[in-house]
A and B are shown apart, each in its own frame.
Chain A
């Protein structure tokens, strides 16, 4: 009886994990696409029904819909996969460690995927070489998003992927610039005595780049960071955000601003709650990196004055690169670095404006189909790079709301 119940518990656990993995309909059949081009099926791909596009299997890591960044990332990726005639194959890592992500990658590779989008930040320097090697051994196209530029991937990773025909590229954000802009905005609001909520030191790439951006701003504007909170036991919950701000304001009453350079989506509700509870909405401002849920509330109260985020298009771009290869028209020979832009909102008003379009799919089906050379022979590498680098709030407004 006990053994049976233990097995039952294990089964429930596995099923609930599997339920998370299947959420979002990643295994659904691809939709038909308009204006099909003509192409020869590539190795590992099949004709995608009546679209004429090659149907291939795009693997990705589904981190659920737990926050304001992972939700649009997945929604945009799923939309791109469907638009480009591919089949999505999601997998959900058991936890947020590079080992868990490597295990999940094994699962993906066992599902006969043709290409896979790898979140570099989840593998980091320790896990990236193994991830790259697994993809190479499986003969699967791969590329990174949420990572550094290619030259900063780490010697081991770079040595494998720089000459590889399977490597699609590296989509990186300019973290230094994002942090610098955050500090600059706080300074413009008259806030120079700053508290800092950030990532743990183990998150070397992002932490170093964002810290460097803050440091540059401190030197340029004469600001001061009074105290830091990088303990992930605290910064992964909203209550931790409230506790942090309460501690900051108790220990440093002169503090007039806060930069959240990591885990924004977790701490922001609590941060806002603590600031309003202390009645400091008018003289205490927050600048953040990554978009949290319910951003309009924080902007409306005047607390949140800067946010850079919306860096959710990396996997979409990787899917475009993979789709072109699978349709026999590769855009580039080998992988390279691409600067995936942040959407930078530098006032409460701009944040409110963004909230009106935040749920939109960034690239619609028509736009994505024009990113395939089989449909649009003029779409070359330069056009692709221009598309990547022009991504911004005004770019989306111009493309979708110009009237």
Chain B
């Protein structure tokens, strides 16, 4: 029965991308139905970066801090990766980028926890700092990599990275003590503290895990684009916004699938929309508007259905009380 419920849940979760795919299939059947596996493969590949970054973002969100600086962090690691590549090739690039992500991520997490203000402003400040560091590091330096270092962008390595990172995400979130503590801190800080959970340690770990995920996303993104350009100021936030939308989509379908799968389904849905809009010749400058509108619709639906459910529970409780009162009255 439990397995049947799980299968039902997964099918419900998949409804969203299926509906989006079906919608664009009606508009451009030649692209979405007539190209074999080509379009689906493109969708799956394009969703990887957004998904990994969204997984990274989710940890900070779990402990109650929305951190947009993760995109600037990813770009910084990409720039570092190009330097490491020029120093010693592909393997040095991979190893040192992950080490850098760990070290920079630890410093960033420490700063965040020392400031201890759960505000987006801290994230914006860190975005500026990380963007400036990227700018300084890329000055007078080529930030492209050779074709030999782009192997991870191709199959099967791209899907191995996705699945491997997904398993880590799922394990940390659902099977580790850290995941449970993060949910506890994000759900009710006072209660978590009363239960002996050290919220600063959990916050530090959450930020650090996000940084490591940003490092993985950086290596994969650099492999896909074969180059990177430093982005000054808050320009990088556009990338973080796409990932944020995936997290919201996962909340929308959270009743049916777990968060790890929900975020991936969100990323896939976003990729389908991206290709769909291109295929119907939609004005590209309005793409962000459409995807934002899509998010708003989902959020509105989630809020309305949530409010209706709560209302239904309230009415049922009220009806039960009335029945109880009546019974008590008739008995007396």
Residue of B132, B141, B230 ringed by the most chain A CB atoms within 10 A = B132
Contact A269 B125 (CB under 8 A): no
Asked, given contacts A64-B232, A237-B229, A238-B227, whether A5 binds B111 with beta carbons under 8 Å apart, the answer is: yes
Contact A13 B132 (CB under 8 A): yes
Which residues of chain B come closer than 8 Å to A60, judged between CB atoms?
none
A401 within 8 Å of B (CB atoms): no
Contact B125 A236 (CB under 8 A): no
Contact A10 B125 (CB under 8 A): yes
How far does the alpha carbon of A24 sit from the alpha carbon of B229 in the complex, in Å? 18
Q: Which residues 211-243 of B have a CB within 8 angstroms of A?
A: 221-222, 224-235, 238-239, 241-242
Interface size class of B (residues with CB under 8 A): 35 or more
- Which of A6, A9, A71, A250 makes the CB contact (< 8 A) with B129? A9
A266 within 8 Å of B (CB atoms): yes
A28 within 8 Å of B (CB atoms): no
A26 within 8 Å of B (CB atoms): no
Contact A238 B135 (CB under 8 A): no
Contact A64 B115 (CB under 8 A): no
- Chain A residue nearest to B239 (CB atoms) is A237
Interface size on A, residues (CB 8 A): 62
Number of A-B residue pairs having CB atoms within 8 Å of each other in the complex: 174
Which residues of chain A come closer than 8 Å to B138, judged between CB atoms?
64-66
Contact B224 A242 (CB under 8 A): yes
Which residues of chain A come closer than 8 Å to B42, judged between CB atoms?
246-247, 250
B274 within 8 Å of A (CB atoms): yes
Contact B235 A16 (CB under 8 A): no
- Chain B residue nearest to A267 (CB atoms) is B225
Contact B132 A67 (CB under 8 A): no
How far does the alpha carbon of A233 sit from the alpha carbon of B291 in the complex, in Å? 12
How far does the alpha carbon of A394 sit from the alpha carbon of B225 in the complex, in Å? 33
A-B pairs, top 7 by smallest CB distance, nearest first, are A269-B227, A238-B225, A95-B233, A16-B132, A251-B279, A270-B225, A239-B225
27 contacts between A and B (CB under 8 A): A9-B125, A17-B128, A17-B132, A19-B132, A20-B136, A20-B139, A23-B139, A64-B138, A64-B232, A92-B232, A230-B285, A231-B284, A234-B284, A238-B225, A238-B227, A240-B225, A243-B274, A246-B45, A247-B42, A250-B275, A251-B275, A251-B278, A253-B35, A269-B225, A270-B226, A293-B142, A294-B142
For the complex with contacts A19-B136, A64-B230, A66-B229, 16 further pairs of A-B residues with Cβ separation under 8 Å are A95-B233, A229-B278, A231-B284, A233-B242, A233-B287, A233-B288, A236-B229, A237-B231, A238-B222, A243-B274, A250-B42, A251-B279, A265-B229, A269-B228, A270-B225, A273-B226
